[in-house]
Amino acid sequence: MKNAWFIRLNNLQIGRSTLSGDIGPGQLSAVIGPHRSGKTLLADILRRETRVSPETANFNLDAGRISYSAENRRFSCSDF
């Protein structure tokens, strides 16, 4: 049986925040927050550019499926 999740976070510490939860097939998730709150660090962890303990972050998908946009990038409907 396949796992029902693609990303599983379990008490992952990023800055002052602790993240836990699953992101499953078909889910779209976004991370927003103030300057220097750990958004880029989280993106680096999800793309596996920064390593963390497997007990705190588990992945059941190819890292290439994670996308990230810098905060100064603006999107319009025509981008999609």
Residues whose CB is less than 8 angstroms from the CB of residue 48 and which lie 6 or more positions away in sequence, other chains included? 59, 63
- Model confidence pLDDT, tens digit, residues 10-62: 999 998 889 999 988 888 888 888 888 888 888 888 888 899 998 999 888 77
> What is the model's pTM?
0.71
State the alpha helices, DSSP H only, in the chain. Answer: 39-46
Backbone phi, then psi, for 14, in 5-degree steps? -135, 110
CA 48 to chain CA centroid, Å, is 10
What Å distances lie between residue 69 and 2, 4, 28, 31, CA to CA? 30, 26, 14, 10
